[in-house]
Structure 1
């Protein structure tokens, strides 16, 4: 598989993941607070988004130079390694506010 094919596959996967996150955000903040599965889903989505962002930055740093990609990768590292210190209100805002901005970076 060519590098460019791999990058395009990762972009498609990232867009799909960000769209899934948007669907969960659409359930609302109250659902997020009341359903214990939603914060766990947000953690998993943050892990996937960050891992894909890392891959894209590594494979094509000039194409993915926006600081948002590196921030997504750092967020992933925090969520994965410091899961016991996650502030779920911040996680909610990150997925609600930052993920759509990251998605717009991919389609521009």
Structure 2
């Protein structure tokens, strides 16, 4: 089946696109469309998580126990409130993205 890396980078101008990425990732996990799924929020989508309560609640309600990754550099540099990202793993994601691709994950960007 393969492994999927869902990178969500769309912000408030393309909120529906970001929501589509969340749904694709969660349905891939739920229905076994892939052997493994990783989700990373980066750039404008990370701002959307912090600033848009509706979007954040949508993500949290769909991902269940899974903890997606969000970029630590952006969280620190944009001073994102830690409580808005408690549901996620906050790490430097650049090298993680490269590692996952090296491990055979197919990146899909929303």
TM over 0.5: no
Give the number of the structure whose residues are more often helix, by fraction: 1
Normalised TM-score (structure 2):
0.35
Give the number of the structure whose residues are more often strand, by fraction: 2
